[in-house]
Amino acid sequence: MSQPLLSIDNLHVRFARSEDEVYAVNGISFDVYENEALGIVGESGSGKSVTLMSSIGLLRENGKISSGTAHFQGKDLLKLKPRQLEDIRGRDIGVIFQDPMTSLNPIMRIGDQIMEAMLTHRYASRKEAFERTLQLMHEIGIPDPKSRFKNYPHEFSGGMRQRIMIAIALACEPQLLIADEPTTALDVTVQMQILALLQDLRRKRGMSVVMVTHDFGVATNFCDKIIVMYGGQIMEMARTDQFIRRTAHPYSIGLKRSIIEVGHRGKEILPIPGASKALTEEPVGCPFAARCSFATERCFQETPALRIYGEDHHIACHHAEEVARHAV
């Protein structure tokens, strides 16, 4: 197989707080290849955003990468100077942030914001950038680009603002798009439109995508490969078809069940009993043990390694084989 475009290896991230530390990411490793779409799912606080943002140099001041590496096209991102990272971000790696209102500049016309992305990275001359901006606005479904160019973010709906974020992220035709919950705040119809748009752009440009989402259904529909995270660790990682057919991690099974209930029977999402909490101590044992109906003494003492479970399928569970037998 060819070299991965993005390769994260054994990443650990901690945050200092006034009284304690948060062990947000605890040994994450994965690769993203050309033309591949990877979906990262998991409930709130599982470390999805921190994993991605820290690997591209966007970590809050109280955060620290305590170990691990992140390579993009063979370059060690964690060793680059801020200026070099800034250059890669936006030009080679497009980023759609979780909250469009905090990422768009409220006092700058949206056309200028898209153009600025191209000019900052010397991707195009001013004239070319203007033409390309209109073209991009058209491509992402903003009607009448010439007149909308002059509007400010508050003059757009949530769905349109999200489209503008996508246009900014795609302005320099990046090889990799990192999309952190690109559709969470939107209603289902707009969400579907935006995902279809991203899928279309991905095919046209041969771009790779890493998409973070709460929504298991969105991930399985859009992505070639799925990672399920919990407690800052990977619980299951598999090619999507394998994942759908052979899910074997108790946490993933819970997520899958919730989507089946919603998708096919119109019932409410069945929550997985218990709640996750911020990890303020170095994790010992399986992070899901307190909520897992299959947990044994071993689960509380020994952290399960992410091991091969089948072709293109990895799982971090001591009892995956037994869980799978019960799940059928």
Ligand X SMILES: Nc1ncnc2c1ncn2[C@@H]1O[C@H](COP(=O)(O)OP(=O)(O)OP(=O)(O)O)[C@@H](O)[C@H]1O
In angstroms and rounded to an integer, the radius of gyration of the C-alpha atoms of the chain is 20
**14-45 burial, b for 16+ CB within 10 Å, e for fewer?**
bbeeeeebbbbbbbbebbbbeebbbbbbbbeb
The distance of closest approach from Cβ of residue 287 to ligand SF4 in the complex, given in angstroms and rounded to an integer, is: 8
The distance of closest approach from Cβ of residue 41 to ligand SF4 in the complex, given in angstroms and rounded to an integer, is: 16
The answer to whether residues 285 and 300 touch, using CB atoms and an 8 Å cutoff, is: yes
Q: Which residue in 26, 46, 49, 175 binds Mg ion (CB under 5 A)?
A: 49
Q: Which does 97 bind (CB under 5 to 8 A by kind): ligand SF4, Mg ion, ligand X, none?
A: none
| Positions 243 through 262 that interact with ligand SF4 (CB under 6 A) | 249-250
**101-111 burial, b for 16+ CB within 10 Å, e for fewer?**
eebbeeeebbb
Q: Does position 289 bind ligand SF4 by CB under 6 A?
A: yes
Q: Which residue in 41, 299, 306, 324 binds ligand SF4 (CB under 6 A)?
A: 299
Neighbouring CB atoms inside 10 A of 301's CB total 11
Q: Comparing C-alpha atoms, which of 305, 312, 99, 46 is closest to residue 320?
A: 305
Give the CA distances from residue 223 to residues 85, 176, 182, 264, in Å, rounded to whole numbers and listed in that order.
26, 14, 14, 21
Residue in this structure with the two tokens 């990262």, named with its chain if needed: 40
- Span from 46-54, 115-123, 136-144, 146-154 in contact with ligand X (CB under 6 A): 46-54
Q: Which residue in 62, 221, 280, 296 binds ligand X (CB under 6 A)?
A: 62
Of 129 and 299, nearer to ligand SF4 (C-beta) is 299
- Span from 66-74, 89-97, 206-214, 312-320 in contact with ligand SF4 (CB under 6 A): 312-320
The distance of closest approach from Cβ of residue 304 to Mg ion in the complex, given in angstroms and rounded to an integer, is: 24
| Positions 64 through 103 that interact with ligand X (CB under 6 A) | 98
3-state secondary structure of 109: coil
Binding residues for Mg ion, per CB under 5 A?
49
Binding residues for ligand X, per CB under 6 A?
15, 17, 22, 24, 42, 44-50, 60, 62-63, 98, 214, 278
